[in-house]
Chains A and B, each alone.
Chain A
Amino acid sequence: MIARAPFSGPLLVEDVVTGARVMIARDLAENIEVAADGPGAD
């Protein structure tokens, strides 16, 4: 996570692989599970 916006605004998260930055609402972010392993992963 890179930053939190003021007034309970979104979180700014960065994908460490691509460097892509996405803002995600806090309520939504709470429900996101980051999985390190997906199908087919070694």
Chain B
Amino acid sequence: MARARTDEIVIALAGQPNCGKSTLFNAVAGFKVDVGNFAGTSVAFAETRVTFHGQKIRLIDLPGTYSISSHDLAEKVARDFLLSGEVDALINVVDASMLSRSLEFSLQLTEMRVPMVMCLNMMDEAQRKGMEINTSRLEELLGVPVRTAVAVVGTGIEEVFRQAIRVAGGVVPAVEPRYDNDVEQALARLLADYPKPLRDALPLSERFVALRLLEKDEDFEKKAGAASPEFLARATGERHRLAEREGRAETLTLGSHRHSLVLDPYEKVVRHRRGNVLGVREKVDRFIIHPIGGAITVVGSLLITFFLAFHLGNLIAGLVDVPFSRVRAAIQALPSGIGPAVLIGIFEGVVAGAGIVLPYLVPLLALLAIFEDTGLLPRIAFMVDGILHRVGLHGSSVVPLILGFGCNVPSIMATRTLENPRDRFVTMMVAPFITCSARSVVIIALAGKYLGVLVTVGLYLFGGLMSMAVSYALTRSKRRKSLGVIMEVPPLRQPYPKIVVRKVWLRLREFVVVAWPVLIVSSLVLSLLSYAGTDAAINHFLAPLTTSVLHLPAAVGIPLFLGLFRKELTLVMLGAALGTDAIGTVLSNGQILVLVVFTMLYVPCVATLAAQWREGGWRTAAASALLNLGVSIAVAGVVARLIPAA
């Protein structure tokens, strides 16, 4: 991407997953990207333009990456941008409480010879662990400015950016990390005769390119092979010799040296004040990761979520309904005509958003945000991974699927972190079966209200079982030996109200700006169709599904069809289609159950399909839509026949 303006500088935030890059980005840019206390929340880079003390900045939030050697698509996004030559200054965000591990990536960044500032984030967490970090000494050892911050509360951010602007386009790291003699001698031999064609093909630090080749970086090997096959052959020879001398795999030799290299500065700059004391968080953590405690936590979290979302939702819905009921009575008293039909359509759309969706959506999003920020979700992933493994879902599929509880779209995008195409395809097919917040609103508002909290929780668990069943069926014929999960489990953290509120607003804004207008237009269309008498024709067309298979009134056809655009529309349009908001007076409990099961399982929404098309091609999107439709018809059809009242 070309730079837009010459008076603008480009600053990129780079660091390992879950170190707080997006939190830092949001603190400067306003809350624009989603964050969570687990690795893999960001899979694409976000950018914004800000002016800081008169300096225009194009700020880039790169996906978290553990190493310059990219392994998945998200890491490749970060690496490609870092190597694009566009960056004027790098802010290397580091989780201070995990300094020794983070330094390996920092070391690779310094090898790129790009102006850089290190931001030691989460200093509060480091202090809580009893760590004292000598930042001046760290500056000397790395040769880059080091600043401290606690991004979630906004501490230290200004100084980090002030420093980044100062170094932008100018000062490169003063100190070059020196490996041990074997590596340095190999580098010296390579750099002594560095070919010009390679310099032209890869306009980067020569030492950095040589190090990439010594680490068997395939991308660099391809480019070096094309520019100078002879140099590539020499680099390969040096790598062979290093690996043979140390008896290690070629791909691991340099990484092993780098690991040793960072231990030295770490030991020089970090002191631990006290031993490892078991605090309240650690005790809670022990409970959660215990098999019994974990099961209690999973079920308890679900119960709390539905109980609070349902009761708070009812409370808010009741309060919102009061001012609207008088207006509704006045509109309904108007004589029949196209004008009142338009008015009723728009009014019901507005009321539906404010009185039906928002009351349930807000508490649900708030609870989800709290769960994400505490770090509970990766622990749940830890507890259920064994089961997921047995149904063919492997390790890294867990993060995309967890994201699906918020919204299926980021869940589909997060499959970029999966290296194996088959795992990616299966996860993309399973993700739409995860009950997203929009479908949760339908479940809570219908099942919670008419069938009780226990049935609601049961439905949620049923949704999870369906996801697993789909995975099992898809992978049954082609089971393969999985590499297994390797996933970082972040420390339990206290959620910050400010971050939770902003996160809820970020997700709510999507509903208010995108979905609510769609909802109002749909309500208007439904009202006009009803006025013209054509709604009956559409419902008649869908009757084989609604009445014959699902044993529901034909009038639910249009609400179910509109659910393809937004799942909340099904809920909202149901009242209008059935002529009353008291759904329980028109549908039996069995019919409500069938309706909820079908809504949970059929195609989530067009936005999810679009994401599948973008990420996996139209065949994946079409296969997924057909799968969801087939499963929903089969399962809801069976439920309709098992429950006599339906």
* Contacts from A to B (Cβ < 8 Å): 2-3, 5-10, 12, 15, 17-28, 38-41
A25-B294 contact given A12-B382, A12-B489, CB 8 Å threshold: no
Residues of B within 8 A of A7 (CB): 386-387, 389-390
- The residue from B256, B383, B483 contacting A28, defined by CB atoms under 8 A apart: B483
The answer on a CB contact under 8 Å between B482 and A25 is yes
Q: How far is the CA of A9 from the CA of B490 in the complex (A)?
A: 18
Q: Which 3 residue pairs are nearest across A and B when measured between Cβ atoms?
A: A25-B484, A9-B386, A7-B386
| A25 B389 Cβ-Cβ under 8 A | yes
Within residues 373 to 400 of chain B, which ones have a CB less than 8 A from any CB in chain A? 378, 381-387, 389-390, 395
- List B contacts of A17 (CB < 8 A): 100, 266
Q: In the complex, which of the residues B97, B101, B390 has the most CB atoms of chain A within 10 Å of its own CB atom? A: B101
Q: Tell whether, in the assembled complex, residue A22 and residue B489 are in contact, meaning their CB atoms are under 8 Å apart.
A: yes
Chain B, residues 10-22, CB within 8 Å of chain A (1/0): the string is: 0000000000000
Using an 8 Å CB-CB cutoff, how does the interface string of B82-114 with A read, 1 for contact, 0 for none? 000000000000000111110000000000000
Q: Does B422 contact A (CB under 8 A)?
A: no
B488 touches A5 (CB 8 A): no
Shortest beta-carbon distance from A21 to chain B in Å: 4
Q: Is B280 an interface residue (CB 8 A)?
A: no
Q: Which A residues are in CB contact (< 8 Å) with B289?
A: 2-3, 5, 12
Given contacts A3-B289, A38-B260, whether A22 and B100 have CB atoms under 8 Å apart is no
A24 to B491, CA, bound (A): 16
**Is B385 a contact partner of A23 (Cβ separation < 8 A)?**
yes
Contact call A25/B98, Cβ cutoff below 8 A? no
Q: How far is the CA of A7 from the CA of B391 in the complex (A)?
A: 12
Q: Decide: B485 and A39 in contact? CB cutoff 8 A.
A: no
- Determine the distance from Cα of A26 to Cα of B484 in the docked complex, in whole angstroms: 8
Q: By the criterion CB–CB under 8 Å, are B257 and A10 in contact?
A: no
Q: Which residue of B lies closest to A15 (CB)?
A: B101
26 contacts between A and B (CB under 8 A): A3-B289, A3-B382, A5-B289, A6-B383, A7-B390, A9-B387, A9-B389, A10-B385, A10-B395, A10-B484, A10-B487, A15-B101, A18-B101, A21-B488, A22-B486, A22-B487, A22-B488, A23-B487, A25-B395, A25-B484, A25-B485, A26-B484, A27-B484, A38-B259, A40-B180, A40-B260
| Per-position binary interface string of chain B over residues 485-505, scored 1 when its CB falls under 8 Å from any chain A CB and 0 otherwise | 111111100000000000000
Beta-carbon nearest neighbor of A24 in chain B: B486
Q: Which residues of B contact A8 (CB under 8 A)?
A: 386, 389
Q: Which residue of A lies closest to B481 (CB)?
A: A27
Question: Which residues of chain A have C-beta atoms less than 8 A from B485's C-beta?
Answer: 10, 23-25, 28
Chain B positions near chain A (C-beta within 8 angstroms): 97-101, 129, 180, 246, 256-257, 259-261, 263, 266, 276, 286, 289-291, 294-295, 378, 381-387, 389-390, 395, 482-491
Asked whether B484 lies within 8 Å of A21 as measured between CB atoms, the reply is no
Question: Which residues of A are found within 8 Å of B483, using beta-carbon distances?
Answer: 25, 28
Tell me if A23 and B256 are in contact (CB < 8 A): no
Is A5 touching B101 in the complex (CB atoms < 8 A)?
A: no
Bound CA–CA A22/B256 (angstroms): 19
Q: Give the Cβ gap from A22 to chain B, nearest Cβ, in Å.
A: 5
The CA-CA distance from A41 to B261 in the complex, in Å, is 9
Contacts of B384 in A (CB 8 A): 9
A9 touches B382 (CB 8 A): yes
Residue pair A20, B98 in contact (C-beta under 8 Å): yes
**A15 CA / B489 CA spacing, docked (Å):** 12
> In the complex, which residues of chain B have a beta carbon less than 8 angstroms from the beta carbon of A20?
98, 101, 488
A8 CA to B390 CA, complexed, in Å = 10
B294 touches A6 (CB 8 A): yes
For B385, list chain A residues within 8 Å (CB): 5, 9-10, 23, 25
Q: Which residue of A lies closest to B390 (CB)?
A: A7
Instruction: Establish whether residues A9 and B383, one from each chain, have CB atoms under 8 Å apart when the complex forms.
Output: yes
Residue of B nearest to A32 (CB): B486
Q: Which residues of chain A are within 8 angstroms of B290 by Cβ–Cβ distance?
A: 3
Docked Cα-Cα span, A24 to B260, in Å, equals: 23
Instruction: Name B381's closest neighbour in chain A (CB-CB).
Output: A23
Bound-complex Cα distance A20 to B101 (A): 8
Give which listed residue, B97, B294, B295, B381, contacts A19 with CB less than 8 A: B97
* Contact between chains at B486 and A28 (CB < 8 Å): yes
A6 contact from B97, B260, B386, B488, Cβ within 8 A? B386
Contacts A20-B488, A38-B260, A40-B261 known; list 15 others, CB within 8 Å. Answer: A2-B289, A3-B382, A5-B382, A5-B383, A6-B291, A7-B387, A10-B485, A21-B488, A22-B487, A23-B382, A25-B385, A25-B485, A25-B486, A27-B482, A40-B260
The smallest beta-carbon distance between B21 and chain A, in angstroms, is 17
B100 touches A18 (CB 8 A): yes
**Chain B residue at minimum C-beta to C-beta distance from A26:** B484
A18 contacts which chain B residues (CB < 8 A)?
97-101
B385 CB to closest chain A CB (Å) equals 5
Give A39 Cβ to nearest chain B Cβ, in Å: 5
| A9–B378 alpha-carbon span in the complex (Å) | 13
Question: B482 — which chain A residues lie within 8 A by C-beta?
Answer: 25, 27
Residue on A nearest B289 in the bound complex, by CB: A3
Q: Indicate if the CB atoms of B98 and A19 lie closer than 8 Å.
A: yes
Chain B residue nearest to A35 (CB atoms) is B256
Contacts of A28 in B (CB 8 A): 483-486
Which of A8, A10, A12, A26 has the most B CB atoms < 10 Å from its CB? A10
The answer to whether B383 touches A21, judged by C-beta atoms less than 8 angstroms apart, is no
